[in-house]
Amino acid sequence: MVFFIFMLTHHDVTIPNAPEIYDITKDAGISCVGFKDVGLSFKELSELVTLMKKDGKKIFLEVVSETLESALQSARNAVRLEVDYLIGGAYPEPTIRLLTGRGIKYFPYVGKVVEHPCLLRGSVEEIVHDAKKVEALGADGINLLAYRFNGDVERLMSSVKDSVNIPLIAAGSIDSLARVRKVMDLGMWGFTIGGAIFEKRFVPGGTLIEQITAVINAINKQKRTR
């Protein structure tokens, strides 16, 4: 099983009308919904999370904060919001300590994450080493910026997956059905899509519901061919 995580984000920022878009798309067959730690106030995020919880969604908060203090504040916000998953963030050890016993699963970034929107840099070998390190620290999974990597993306995903025993999310720039199929073929636990849906990459000119349906149909078709 693979988890499609619909991110209410564009260019690594939570969209300003996230509650409205969530209401439009909540019945489109998505069980996992996420947002970034930037773009809306805590009060606005709290109201959004309340809506998601009422509908029984699995909630993902992705950290794109660059400094240690801002990343830890995002983790504190995740605790206050009572999200199900905290993903991203470049400071796994202190974040894991902060989340211990809180009931939130944590999937940090690995490798060298730079700029905003986030890009992944470093060699495959360095990223694999980092993946093993965060697994040893007790991370529940890894949020891998696979298609933000300036190298062999398929080799990266395969190498990281083969090096650890925790699940992987392929995050960022999954903007075609071919990429959806590829992350499934390579055994990713889940993948995030945000901007590509709002840019209507899957059904040119189609509605948001049609974008989401196209992704879900691709997932189901891929499952049937296995």
pLDDT for 50: 97
pLDDT for 225: 76
* Domain range list for the chain: 3-225
pLDDT for 6: 98
Task: For the chain, list residues with pLDDT below 50.
Answer: none
pLDDT for 224: 78
pLDDT for 35: 97
Going by C-beta distance under 8 Å and a sequence separation of 6 or more, which residues neighbour residue 15?
8, 9, 21, 39, 198
User: What pTM did the predictor assign?
Assistant: 0.96
Going by C-beta distance under 8 Å and a sequence separation of 6 or more, which residues neighbour residue 110?
127, 130, 131, 134, 142, 144, 160
pLDDT above 70 covers a percentage of the chain that reads 100
Which candidate, 84, 96, 83, 88, places its Cα nearest to that of 63? 88
Going by C-beta distance under 8 Å and a sequence separation of 6 or more, which residues neighbour residue 57?
26, 30, 31, 32, 33
- Domain spanning 3-225, CATH class: alpha beta
> Is 4 within 8 Å of 216 (Cβ atoms)?
yes
Using one digit for the tens of pLDDT, what is the confidence trace for 67-82?
999 999 999 999 999 9
Q: How far apart are CA 35 and CA 194, in angstroms?
A: 9
pLDDT for 226: 65
